[in-house]
Structures are given as C-alpha cells and as structure tokens.
Amino acid sequence: MVDIIKDYSNYNPPEAESPWIKFPEGTTTIRILSHSINWKSHYVRSEKKSHTCTGDISTCEWCQKGDQPKGRWAYLILNRSGNEIKVMEVGWQIFGTILQCAKDADYGDPRKYDFKITRKGTGLETEYQVIPGKETKFTEEEEKALKASGLDDIDKATQKLVSYYEKEDVPHPADEE
C-alpha cells in the first residue's frame, strides 16, 4: 500500500520497526526472556558504527590501532512499558547490575523478575540505574503470547536473539550513540 502525500507540513513518516529497545529518558520496565550473549566491539565515532572485535590483534584492525574493545551483552526481553518483544543490547553499566542480581541468593535467575531501568542524560553523559523487582509470574495473556511465539522456552528465545545478530545489514543500537 502507498500513501499519497499532498500536505508535507503535517506529515510525519512512520518509524521503521526495530527489534532493539532504545531506552527513553525515564523508567522502562523489562523482563529478560533469554540467556545472555556476549562479545566485544569497537565503536568508531568517525563512522558512527560499531565493529565486532575478533579478539585477535593480528586480525582486528581496531585493536592494531590501539583501541580497546568494550564488552557488549544482549538479551531478548519483554518491554513491559510497550508490551513488545525486543532485543536489549547493553554495556557493563546495565549488565553489571543484572550479573550482581543473578549471583545474589535473594534474586537468582534474572528471568524470574522484572527490572526497572532508568535512563538520565544523553550521549557520553548518559547514566542508567537498574533496580530489580520482586519475583513475579507472567500474566495469563503474556504466557499465551510467549507460548504462541515459542518464546516461553529459553533456548528458543536465545536462538531468536542470536538470529538478529546473524543479519549483517541490521543497524545496532550502539551505532546510534
């Protein structure tokens, strides 16, 4: 279907649907659905693009230039603020808190409770606060939707997450930093 645009003054193009969550200023509540995947990458500011590090200085041009790669982690999540399944790609600031909670006997498996992630600031001044919630079950409606999409199984959810990263032409959220 096509739209004929006659009045540009009030036209706002539809936003492209992205599988990645972009945290807005304020608080977003999420639930982790998958295992985490991890890699290292180099963010090249002049290109506004990230490049996956090979981990081998003889084959990584950015390591050869002296750039230290940064750890990246990703999960498939339920964005409770928008009731949608998204990919959450994060750095140490958020992952470190999730890891602490996962290792804490009072919390354990981070798929059993929600996290409230609050974003303040922009660019290099961005700060995140991550607060774990109490253990809760999915609602009946959420359970049905997850089961229908096959995401009620952690291994299937993780495979879906990995499939996003196997697509080479998909821009990643780090490319928008």
Q: What is the pLDDT of residues 22-77, one digit of tens each?
A: 899 999 999 999 999 998 989 888 888 888 888 888 999 999 999 999 999 999 99
* Residues 25, 29, 32, 33, CA torsion sign: negative
Residue 44 forms part of a structural domain: no
Is 144 domain-assigned? yes
In a domain, 31, yes or no: yes
Domain-located, residue 71: no
Would you state the pLDDT for residue 167? Answer: 67
**Extended beta strands in 53-177, E state:** 70-79, 84-90, 113-120, 127-135
In a domain, 83, yes or no: yes
Please indicate, yes or no, if residue 42 is contained in any of the structural domains: no
Query: For residue 161, what are the domain limits?
Result: 18-37+77-169
pLDDT at position 82: 75
Number of domains within the chain: 1
pLDDT at 118: 96
What is the average pLDDT value for the chain, to the nearest integer? 85
Round to whole Å and give the CA distance between 106 and 113: 11
On whether the CB atoms of residues 38 and 71 are closer than 8 A, the answer is yes
Residue 177 pLDDT > 50: no
Would you say residue 135 lies in a domain? Answer: yes
Q: How confident is the model at residue 100 (pLDDT cuts 50, 70, 90)?
A: very high
Name the residue with higher pLDDT: 111 or 171: 111
* Residue 1 predicted with pLDDT over 50: no
